Amino acid sequence: MERLLLAAAIVVVASVVAAVLRRRRPAPPTQPQYQVPAQLDRDDFDGPDRPWLVAVFSSATCQSCERAVAKAAVLASETVAVQDVSYQDRKDLHERYAIDAVPTIVVADEAGVVRASFIGVPTATDLWAAVADARHPDARHPGT
Number of Cβ atoms within 10 Å of the Cβ of 47 = 17
- Comparing 76-80, 109-113, 117-121, 139-143, the range with the smallest average pLDDT is 139-143
Q: Give the whole-angstrom CA distance, residue 97 versus residue 95.
A: 6
**pLDDT score, position 144:** 47
Residue 51, CA atoms < 13 Å, CB-side half-sphere: 9
Task: Report all structural domains of the chain as residue ranges with CATH numbers, in order of start.
Answer: 42-135 (3.40.30.10)
The string of pLDDT tens digits covering residues 104-135 is 999 999 999 999 999 999 999 999 999 999 88
Task: Indicate yes or no: pTM above 0.85.
Answer: no
Return the ∠ at Cα 23 (arms to 20 and 25), rounded to 5°: 110
